[in-house]
Amino acid sequence: MISEKMVKALSDQVNAELYSAYLYLAMSAYADSAEFKGIANWLNVQAREEQAHGTHIVKHLLERGAVPVFAEIKAPQASWGSIAELFDMVAAHEKHVTGLINKIADLALEEKDHATYNFILWYVNEQVEEEANAEELVARVKLAGDHSGLICHLDNTLGAREFKDPFPD
Instruction: Tell me which residues touch ligand OFO (CB under 6 A).
Output: 17, 20, 50, 53, 94, 97, 126, 130
Shortest distance (Å) from residue 7 CB to ligand OFO: 19
Judge contact between 49 and 25, C-beta under 8 A. Answer: no
Q: C-alpha angle with apex 62: 131 to 25, nearest 5 degrees?
A: 40
Closest-CA residue to 18 (of 61, 47, 60) = 47
HSE (side-chain half, CA atoms, 13 Å) at 148: 1
State the Cα–Cα distance between residues 9 and 101, nearest whole angstrom: 10
**Of the two residues 123 and 144, which places its CB atom closer to ligand OFO in the complex?**
123
Shortest distance (Å) from residue 114 CB to ligand OFO: 22
Distance of CA 17 to the CA centre of its chain: 6
**Of the two residues 121 and 143, which places its CB atom closer to ligand OFO in the complex?**
121
State the Cα–Cα distance between residues 138 and 115, nearest whole angstrom: 35
State the Cα–Cα distance between residues 110 and 130, nearest whole angstrom: 26
**Of the two residues 47 and 107, which places its CB atom closer to ligand OFO in the complex?**
47
**Of the two residues 94 and 113, which places its CB atom closer to ligand OFO in the complex?**
94
Shortest distance (Å) from residue 145 CB to ligand OFO: 27
Shortest distance (Å) from residue 152 CB to ligand OFO: 26
Shortest distance (Å) from residue 149 CB to ligand OFO: 30
**Of the two residues 71 and 143, which places its CB atom closer to ligand OFO in the complex?**
71
